[in-house]
Structures are given as C-alpha cells and as structure tokens.
Amino acid sequence: MNQVKDIMTDQVFVVSPEATIDEAISLLLDHRVSGLPVVDRDHLLLGVITEFDIIDLVYKADIEESLVADYMTKEVSSLDVEASLDEAANIFCNNSIRRVPIVREGRLVGVLSRHDLINFVREVRRSTAAV
C-alpha cells in the first residue's frame, strides 16, 4: 500500500510564528504557494498561514506589524509520514483544504497537496492502462 511519504513534497517553504504577515505574504507570492506551514526552531508544526487567513486581514490596519502567530490557523489536520494515501484522500474529501502537512514525531517533514494525490492517481491509471 502506498504511503504519503511516497508522493509528498519534502522541499517545503515554511514560516516562523514570529514572522510578520508582510513577510508571509512575500513568501506566498514569491514561491507561488497558497499556504505555509508555521514551524518553530525545532521544526515542530505549530499551524499554517494560508491565503484565506491573509484575505481576512484586508480591512485590518497595520498588517506590516502583525505577526503570523496572531493569524495562523492553529487547528491543523496533519498526517504521519507513514500514513496511507487512503487516509490522505479522506482528509481532502472531508475538509476544504489544499495541502496537508506531513510530520514525523510532530516535526514537519513534507507536505502533501491535492495536486500530488491527483497526479498519483493519473500515474497509476497510466501504468495500469499500459499493461
């Protein structure tokens, strides 16, 4: 059975909870991603900051001074690196999220996106059609 570690992205852009919202916006735009895991110095997953979190700040003043820790989503669905792709599919089907942080003992080791999972389905279909 395939596991999330087989198809996850292990090169992940992250942000510190002490970073400013302005810094998070720059990371999102510069790296063309829709969300960033928030981690501490030991790479422990603390939350995520997404485009949706930032869009909520449109009418707030001084976002340049605001910290990621104050606006990040703290209740985050994550998966262990050994989790099955079925578990990942369930998370995507039951939640309106684009990516799932992948952890080992609470430390971020990767991210699995809906795109990664859909690409895996396409590759499996192609390989079975070729047989």
Question: Is the separation of the CB atoms in 98 and 34 below 8 Å?
Answer: yes
In angstroms, the CA 54 to CA 22 distance is: 10
Residue ranges of domains in the chain, CATH in brackets: 4-129 (3.10.580.10)
**In which band, very low, low, confident or very high, does the pLDDT at 41 lie, cut at 50, 70 and 90?**
very high
pLDDT at position 61 is 62
Q: Is pLDDT at 56 greater than 90 in this prediction?
A: no
Structure pTM? 0.88
pLDDT at position 130 is 67
Tens digit of pLDDT for each residue in 9-38? 999 999 999 999 999 999 999 999 999 999
In angstroms, the CA 37 to CA 111 distance is: 9
Q: Are strands 45-50 and 107-113 parallel, antiparallel or unpaired?
A: unpaired
**Averaged pLDDT, 102-128:** 93
